[in-house]
Amino acid sequence: MSEIKNVDYGLEKIFDGAKDFLPLLGTDYVEFYVGNAKQAAYYYKSAFGFQSYAYKGLETGSRDVVSYVLKQDKICVVLTTPLNSKSNINDHIVKHGDGVKVIALWVDDATKSWRETTSRGAKSYMKPTIEKDEYGEVVRSGIFTYGDTVHVFVERKNYKGVFLPGFEKWRSDFNPEPSGLKFIDHMVGNVGWNEMNKWVNFYEDVMGFVNFLSFDDKQITTEYSALMSKVMSNGNGRIKFPINEPAEGKKKSQIEEYLDFYEGPGVQHIAVATDDIITTVGNLRARGVEFLSIPPQEYYDAVPLRLEEHNHELKEDIETLQRLGVLIDADEEGYLLQIFTKPVEDRPTLFFEIIQRMGARGFGAGNFKALFEAIEKEQEKRGTL
């Protein structure tokens, strides 16, 4: 149930709100299909500071699946594991490993959202379905997006219970402190060769999004690998989905590596916002979250000039940022601070970005080179470059 704040995307200039056929209130939840939800929940609590929120499983009468719901400020993560071999969730896990299945979007009317999108060509994942308990009702519906990933529309205005019907409040004796993560800033999808425009068109035509930033393979390249990226946003700017496609380079692109190991398109990274990246990253590092390697000295030597070019003054201590490996990028509106984790599962697939926006609207294009070089170092070790 994330809301975007503090950044003006100027979308009203390119987007006619009156024609928004799919008004989105925010991200509702992100659901991962995982091999062992109990252990994954422990990891996200211990390492990232997520809080126990809701649960369903054998104890609540759910015989086929178990789900742990974790929250941190506005971020809601669901970890789901099947309880037997018959569930088709197994197929997802066998094929993709642990990964994101559902990007759920918070809407006022899930029935209308489903009608508007399916009538524009979306493939249905779930027809509008009412779920009820003593706390009211939730309507959910869903459509497929890239790969096996889906969007579920969640209408919860008539519901007062914890999370969704079927779930109970999860009370735990183990409650590590939050790490300062606030809301989802953006979620990035990796799609196959020559498929980016197909998915850009999907978000434009089927979901009413606009493409407000693009990077081609000339901008996003190192000596070895390249990719192309287009950023899609809904009308109010609360939902931003950059889409990546691999591009030809001297060696294998990180996007290609992802596609090989995820065995198809899927969510590449989830960027979560903090308003104090120094405290958050210090905290995450102390809890064992692994980040990509810290860029070389030359990178940090160049930062003051990069900020000066755009007339911004860094409020944070640059030596502290360097010690933590935080990257800095600037545009006309401001600057941003960001850092990327290593993949959070054994397959080199999904990872997290921690981001603090100091007015900047971009996605760290000025850091792509440093980021790619850090990823290539890891690819080298994995023998996948």
- Given the rule CB under 5 A, which residues bind Fe ion? 271, 353
Closest separation between CB of residue 291 and Fe ion, Å? 14
Closer to Fe ion at the Cβ: 68 or 146?
146
Closer to Fe ion at the Cβ: 66 or 187?
187
Closer to Fe ion at the Cβ: 158 or 293?
293
Closer to Fe ion at the Cβ: 206 or 336?
336
Helix (H) or strand (E) holding 43: helix 37-46
With beta carbons less than 8 A apart as the criterion, state whether 211 and 200 touch.
Answer: yes
Instruction: Give a three-class secondary structure readout of 197-228.
Output: HHHHHHHHHHCCCEEEEEECCCCCECCCCEEE
Closest separation between CB of residue 269 and Fe ion, Å? 6
Residue partners of 367: CB distance under 8 A and separation at least 6: 327, 328, 329, 338
Burial of 268 (0-12, 13-18, 19+ CB in 10 A): buried
Residue partners of 373: CB distance under 8 A and separation at least 6: 222, 295
Closest separation between CB of residue 355 and Fe ion, Å? 7
Closest separation between CB of residue 89 and Fe ion, Å? 27
Closer to Fe ion at the Cβ: 188 or 303?
188
Closest separation between CB of residue 135 and Fe ion, Å? 36
Q: What is the CA radius of gyration of the chain?
A: 20
State how far the Cα of 40 lies from the Cα of 153, in Å rounded to an integer.
25
